[in-house]
Amino acid sequence: MTRTKPVKTETTRKVTRGGKDLNQALERLGSLKLSDLYGSDFLLTWEKSEDQIKATLETALILREFVQNGLSPRVFESGLAISIFRDKSTRTRFSFASAANLLGLTVQELDEEKTQIAHGETVRETAIMISFLSRVIGIRDDLYLGEGNSYMREVARSVEGGYREGILPYRPVLINLQCDLDHPTQSMADLAHLSTHFGGLDRLQGKKLAMSWAYSPSYGKPLSVPQGIIALLSRLGLEITLAHPEGYELLPEVVDRARLSASVSGGSFKVVHSMAEAFDQADIVYPKSWAPLDIMRSRTALLGKGDRNGLKELERECLAINAHFRDWECNEAMMKLTRSGQALYMHCLPADISDVSCPQGEVARSVFERYRLNTYREASWKPYIIAAMMFLALFERPAQKLIDLQKQVSAT
């Protein structure tokens, strides 16, 4: 255990509150039921219990407190964290690397074009070969409905088999870095940001959230961010309005899950076809583009056929459909509809910013600039969330392990 000198910034002084907060968080973590987390994958938030969701948030907070107080939570002397990105990424890619490094693991990114996968190596064989001394495998596979989450589970079954057959000394755990169904590291980071912003999870009850489609000049963005948001936050008692033009529906099973969770948690859930209606008196707005559901289904079918010309034509079709809804922009007029005109703007980033990254996009330049630092704070939770997912899966008694780390630091 090493002690590093903390950087004294205004943000550090606000977040760092000494050992009291750390001890309280450790106590809260120790009171939760976590036995099922050890050795388990984190693939979908709705597969996790309320205690497991809270444990992930508490562990992320504890790890953040360690860092803010200049302490190292490094718990591994060696071992790999494998990242597999089948889609582009900035925040999640570097957050995964940061999280692994924070705990002492070395990141190795799998480039499929540089492996024997290009020569027909099976998923099972690849999974075993990359796992001999690996602790964690993070996967992003989000572009094709019915494919991404299934691929992750095939990798999980493969490493489980390798471990049980004695080929692997331990089973690496899998973390979903975004699939076709969910983006759990993003939605959990968003929840951590909301909890911090409003002063605790209990303060989210009754808050109005507008999860809205927004115009983008780019093609075929996945459904997993809005699906992840409505599936997770509906469990916290928020009043959620999902807004999108007709044809831009999310997967029915996820929408049904959100509606049921809202009724159980004391919140509410409804679907509208007007951004203005969703923004009316909202406390939180999350304007984000995604592709029409039928387009996503067609893309998967064309992929299976290897029809490249068909995929290009589908892209043109999608962009033409999007162009009918250019007025779905989070602008100053929309923000004035929110509660006191001061709703919290959220985005997973990168946002399509009008007159900045594109001529017209999801959010007006003035709105984004006003909330830019808040979106950076939102994103800053992701390394800690991913590290927490790793930590909880790799240690049977995570609270005690963190207490032992704290004691080691105190003794130095």
* Residues forming a β-bridge with 3: 71
Average pLDDT over residues 362-390: 98
Same domain, 225 and 350: yes
Q: What does pLDDT average to over the chain? A: 92
How far is Cα 265 from Cα 21, in angstroms, rounded to an integer? 28
Are residues 194 and 162 both part of a single domain? no
Give the separation between CA 162 and CA 21, rounded to whole angstroms: 41
In terms of domains, do 230 and 298 share one?
A: yes
Predicted pLDDT at 19: 63
Residue 3 has a pLDDT of 40
The answer to whether 181 touches 148, Cβ cutoff 8 Å, is yes
Cα–Cα dist 108/32, whole Å: 33
Average pLDDT in the 32-53 region?
A: 94
Q: What is the mean predicted confidence (pLDDT) over 26-52? A: 93
- 8-state DSSP, 12: H
Tell me which of 5-19, 58-72, 153-167, 254-268 is least confident: 5-19
Whether 257 and 341 map to the same domain: the answer is yes
> pLDDT of 213-238, one tens digit each?
999 998 879 999 999 999 999 999 99
Question: What is the rounded average pLDDT of the residues 135-147?
Answer: 95
What is the mean pLDDT of the segment spanning 325-332? 98
Neighbour tally for 306: CB within 10 Å? 8
- Please determine, for residue 6, whether its predicted confidence score (pLDDT) is greater than 60: no
Q: What are the angstrom distances between the C-alpha of 255 and each of 19, 45, 250, 258? A: 42, 14, 7, 5
Calculate what percentage of the chain has a pLDDT beyond 90. 84
- CA neighbours within 13 Å on the CB side: how many for 44? 16
Given this model, what pLDDT does residue 40 score? 96
Give the integer Cα–Cα distance in Å for 326 and 105: 45
Whether the predicted pLDDT of 162 surpasses 90: yes
| Residue 111 covered by a domain | yes
**More confidently predicted of 308 and 156:** 156
Nearest to 229 by CA among 46, 369, 43, 59: 46
pLDDT at residue 356 tops 90: yes
* Residue 366 and residue 221 in one domain: yes
**Whether 55 and 174 share a structural domain:** yes
The DSSP secondary-structure symbol of 87 reads S
* Residue 366: pLDDT over 90: yes
Closest-CA residue to 137 (of 97, 110, 175): 175
Q: Is the pLDDT of residue 5 over 50?
A: no
H helix runs in 145-223, sequence order: 148-164, 184-198
Q: Does 166 reside within a domain?
A: yes
Question: Would you say residue 5 lies in a domain?
Answer: no
pTM: 0.93
- Provide the H-helix boundaries in 249-397: 252-265, 275-279, 293-305, 308-322, 332-336, 365-380, 382-394
| Residues 177, 196 within the same domain | no
Whether residues 174 and 313 share a domain: the answer is no
Check whether 36 has a pLDDT greater than 60: yes
Instruction: Specify whether 94 is located in the same domain as 117.
Output: yes
Question: Is 102 within a domain?
Answer: yes
pLDDT of residue 411: 67
- pLDDT computed for residue 116 by the predictor: 85
Residues 347 and 366 in one domain: yes
Q: Assess whether 236 and 138 both reside in one domain.
A: no
Q: Check pLDDT > 90 for residue 10.
A: no
Task: Tell me the residue range of the domain where 294 lies.
Answer: 190-380
Residue 12 has pLDDT above 50, yes or no: no
Structure tokens at 71: 């302490």
pLDDT at site 247 = 95
Please check whether residue 390 lies inside any domain of the structure: yes
Task: Encode pLDDT of 105-126 as tens digits.
Answer: 999 999 888 888 877 889 999 9
pLDDT, average across residues 27-45 = 92
Give me the helices (H) in 31-169, please: 50-68, 91-103, 123-129, 148-164
Q: What is the CATH number of the domain that holds 199?
A: 3.40.50.1370
Same domain, 307 and 363: yes
- 164 vs 159: CA distance, rounded Å: 9
Give me the number of domains the chain comprises: 2
Render pLDDT for 54-109 as a digit per residue (tens, 0 to 9).
Answer: 999 999 999 999 999 888 999 999 999 999 999 999 999 999 999 999 999 999 99
pLDDT at 15 over 60: no
Identify whether 3 is part of a domain. Answer: no
pLDDT at residue 7 is higher than 80: no
Please enumerate, as own/partner, the contacts of 257-262 that have beta carbons within 8 Å and a separation of 24 or more. Answer: 257/46, 257/231, 258/230, 258/231, 258/234, 259/234, 261/46, 261/231, 261/234, 261/235, 262/234, 262/237, 262/238
Of residues 321 and 19, more confidence is placed in 321
Q: Say what the pLDDT of residue 2 is.
A: 39
